[in-house]
Amino acid sequence: MATEPDLRREIADERRKLTNAVADLRKEIDMTAERGKRIGTAVGAAAGALIAVKTLGKILRRRDD
């Protein structure tokens, strides 16, 4: 049977492992959030460019009529 100091050491080791795992997960979540922001920005810019091109096309067609 394990002694109390051994159990305390085991618990401290497990706590340290959990702390490191949580820190790693937070980093991954932050990286994923940053990627999501960049993708959102790119999609927004593409949508804006598409709207601008369509509007320009309508303006040019009206001018030719």
pLDDT digits (tens, 9 = 90+) for 46-62: 999 999 999 999 999 88
DSSP codes joined into one string, the chain: ---HHHHHHHHHHHHHHHHHHHHHHHHHHHHHHHHHHHHHHHHHHHHHHHHHHHHHHHHHHHHH-
Those residues with Cβ within 8 angstroms of residue 10's Cβ, 6 or more apart along the chain or in another chain: 2
Q: What does the pLDDT read at residue 63?
A: 81
Q: Which amino acid is at 28?
A: E
- Percent with pLDDT over 90 in the chain: 88
Give the C-alpha separation, 1 to 18, whole Å: 25
Query: Is the predicted pLDDT of residue 64 greater than 80, yes or no?
Result: no
